[in-house]
Amino acid sequence: MALKLYYNLMSQPSRALYILLKATKCNFESNYVDLRKGEHFTEGFSKINRLQKIPVIDHNGLLLSESVAIVNYLSREGLIPETLYPRVSRTRALVQEYLEWQHVGLRLHCAMYFRVKYLDPILLGRTPSEEQIKGYEERMVSALELLETKWLGRGTDFIVGNNITVADLWAACELEQPRMAGFDAKDKFPNIATWWAKVRQNFNPHYDEAHIILNKIVQKQQKASKL
Amino acid sequence: MALKLYYNLMSQPSRALYILLKATKCNFESNYVDLRKGEHFTEGFSKINRLQKIPVIDHNGLLLSESVAIVNYLSREGLIPETLYPRVSRTRALVQEYLEWQHVGLRLHCAMYFRVKYLDPILLGRTPSEEQIKGYEERMVSALELLETKWLGRGTDFIVGNNITVADLWAACELEQPRMAGFDAKDKFPNIATWWAKVRQNFNPHYDEAHIILNKIVQKQQKASKL
């Protein structure tokens, strides 16, 4: 098969790519990378991606990592519909402006909160102090305020105008991550709540399918916190 | 004039864009943003970029931030030569893979080291502990090791093959930043040292011109540390 995707649905950009390919009926070979077993650190996987990270695609022999580079490439190759990733240069520029901003503007802070509060205690047995969690939460909330007011809340339905694009899908998948650590952005941010529901609806049933395991973890955490 | 650049040469991606436009003889109106005076936080500048960051371009009325989104846009508009930003889809994908990796893979760590060790003491009067500096330095060194071995050190002259691209210029400008805080990557990393000299040479005299103030600060710091 021409296109292979190496991914794990616990990874935000993996989910974004997986949902995009499913929603656009792009045919691909599914290669699940077992992060719990450290499969991304094996010699075999290092030949797929020397940086030992997912997602990765193999497209007719081209190995490519970094989800934003991947979606740009797939769009150039005609595999992503123009509706989701506009080809008009100015509109595309605004979609890319968001995708570039997201790395440190949003993703870093949501991912670090998830890692410190949820993942490190499980993987490393390292329990963060209340003060540490508060610091990570404050930085994440500041980032979410920018999403709420500077990218959303501008009188349009989506991040770039009134049409949904890959920028919205990439952003939504990042916001799912801190839910596993007990933080749901829609509780605090009304613009995010309204927009997020639309993104989910637009990409369903694939959005929910990609988040099955994540949502089970969220439910388990919620039950545990009520005990 | 069709293209305006809002920038400050103390900002890494501002320097990268400035050098690129100068080196490719792209005509642009120069708009210096005085970060020391907090000009990026003014109401006037917020109309240029609501996120209050530089660099920003104004191209016939399109306001665009994020240097990677900007270079992609300028390339689509035919303002960046193909030699520096290949149009062949697979080669372009590899250049973009680096540019996407760089945000958190390299830039974050070099910028944080610079900020904590050099900038915060000046701007906030906040002196970091030896232990804090060590932590930031270790994370930066790990990032530089990836640049040294996974992006360079693969038998080619540049990050993507034997031709210099925007990936090299963007990377080089990031590495200049920690020099102001007393860390020079070429002292520890031979592949980086060889490559860095070639990038500088290729983009000179514009590379050195964009780094005049930065290099003065480096010299001042070196003198002070010898006292």
The predicted complex's ipTM stands at 0.96
Q: What is the pLDDT of residues B48-93, one digit of tens each?
A: 999 999 999 999 999 999 999 999 999 999 999 999 999 999 999 9
The CA distance from A95 to A115, in Å, is 27
pLDDT digits (tens, 9 = 90+) for B130-161: 999 999 999 999 999 999 999 999 999 999 99
Per-residue pLDDT for B225 more than 90? no
With an 8 Å Cβ cutoff, is B68 touching chain A? yes
pLDDT of residue A227: 72
B99 and A50: CB-CB below 8 Å? no
Distance, CA of B182 to CA of B225 (rounded, Å): 9
Count of alpha carbons within 13 angstroms of residue B49, beta-carbon side = 23
Q: What is the per-residue pLDDT for A126?
A: 86
Minimal Cβ distance to B93: which of A50, A62, A108: A62
What is the count of residue pairs from A and B with beta carbons less than 8 Å apart?
84
Who wins on pLDDT, B124 or B62? B62
Q: What is the pLDDT of residue A1?
A: 58
B4-47, pLDDT tens digit by residue? 999 999 999 999 999 999 999 999 999 999 998 999 999 999 99
- What domains are there in chain A, each with its CATH number? 3-76 (3.40.30.10), 89-226 (1.20.1050.10)
- The CA distance from A25 to the nearest CA of chain B, in Å, is 22
Q: Mention every residue, 6+ apart, whose C-beta is less than 8 A from residue B96.
A: A66, A68, A69, A72, A73, B68, B72
The predicted structure's pLDDT at residue B220 = 94
What are the tens digits of pLDDT across the range B164-187?
999 999 999 999 999 999 999 999
Positions of chain A with pLDDT lower than 50, given as ranges:
none
Residues in A 129-188 with any Cβ partner in B closer than 8 A? 146, 150
Cβ(A165)–Cβ(A199) below 8 Å: no
Phi and psi torsions of B59, nearest 5°: -115, 105
What confidence category does residue B1 fall into, taking pLDDT thresholds of 50, 70 and 90? low
d(CA B109, CA B143): 7
Answer yes or no: do B103 and A101 touch at CB < 8 A: no
Task: Provide the 8-state DSSP code for A14.
Answer: H
Measure CB to CB from residue B89 to each of A65, A76, A97 and give the nearest one.
Answer: A76
In this predicted structure, what is the pLDDT of residue B226?
81
Q: Is B77 in Cβ contact with A89 (below 8 Å)?
A: yes
What pLDDT is stored for residue B227 in this prediction?
72
Check: CB of residue A109 under 8 Å from CB of residue A69: no
| CA atoms within a 13 Å half-sphere pointing along the CA-CB vector of B192 | 21
User: Is the CB of B2 inside 8 Å of chain A's CB atoms?
Assistant: no
| Residue among A70, A76, A104 whose CB faces B103 most closely | A104
Whether B101 and chain A come into contact, CB under 8 Å, resolves to: yes
